[in-house]
Amino acid sequence: MFRGIYNGKQYHVADISAVLSRAWSAGIDRIIVTGGSLEESKEALAIAESDARLFCTVGVHPTRCKEFDDSGDPEKHFQALVSLAKEGVEKGKVVAIGECGLDYDRLHFCPAEIQKKYFEKQFELAWAMKLPMFLHMRAAAGDFCNILEQNNHRFCSGVAHSFTGSAEDRDRLLSFSNLFIGVNGCSLKTAENLDVVKGIPVERMMIETDSPYCEIKNTHAGISYVKSLWPFKKKEKYDPDSTVKGRNEPCLVRQVLEVVAGCKGIVDIDQLSKTIYHNTCRVFFPHDLDSAADALLSGDHNTV
């Protein structure tokens, strides 16, 4: 969508530079571009190399796991992921393995047994690279948590992103001390969703956009808490100074923060953002951002 293409049709010029400009202007410090297949991970690394503030993941999304078998040589395919991850780590760009996990809502793309097989396989990659995991769990909490438990020794930390599960699912994830829960617009659709989010300790939470998807819509339960707005135009009437209606952008992470603060009854939104930022730094940027995050939490803004 950031190339101006929607469902295979070109509506406007590629505008990733305008999207990034809005993100930096909104106070975003760094962006992680997600890889969901071998080819997509290559693209994510190429994008990450275009700006010092961009980073990426390497991995295969559960709905794409058939690509291992379809390649004709699953081990060779896996080794290509290993090589790409090594290259990205050496360049200082790859900060996590993923997006990987289980998605039982979309079994028409990939059967559960194949998803489980290659979800487990990617723990080898996380262990080899000593990287955290960017995880996907949709309607699969039982199998997901069982696999996580069996492989808990093979990854240092991670985040179950775009969480939309139940209170029981939340509590199972929180039982893993090295795991955080990622919240975006899809996590905040219903009153039940908001109740579940209320129960995620701030110290175990991250926020994200998952753009270009998962925007907060006017029909969502948390919309009343949104204070920050950006002008938007339909894709047919594209304007580089406006967001595109229905397409999510990194700058809109501020809205996720506002809904989380609102549903939790947190007045000090700046402190909330600092804590969540700190969580993110600890997982994805432990070598060079821990000191900066600690300084931010203590109120010393000169070092950030």
Q: For 7-60, what is each residue's pLDDT tens digit?
A: 999 999 989 999 999 999 999 999 999 999 999 999 999 999 999 999 999 999
pLDDT in tens, 80-100: 999 999 999 999 999 999 999
Cis peptide before 212 (omega within 30 of 0): yes
> Is residue 136 within a helix (H) or strand (E), and if so which, with residue range?
strand 133-138
DSSP 110: S
236 is in an annotated binding site: no
| pLDDT above 90 coverage of the chain, percent | 89
Q: Is 10 helix (H, G, I), strand (E, B) or coil?
A: strand
The whole-model pTM stands at 0.92
161 is in an annotated binding site: yes
- Mean pLDDT for 206-210 is 96
| pLDDT above 70 coverage of the chain, percent | 94
CA angle 255, 261, 267 (to 5 degrees): 120
With a cut of 50, say whether residue 301 has pLDDT above it: no
> In sequence order, which ranges of the chain are alpha helices (DSSP H)?
16-25, 38-48, 66-70, 74-90, 112-129, 141-150, 167-174, 191-198, 253-264, 269-284, 290-298
153 is in an annotated binding site: no
124 is in an annotated binding site: no
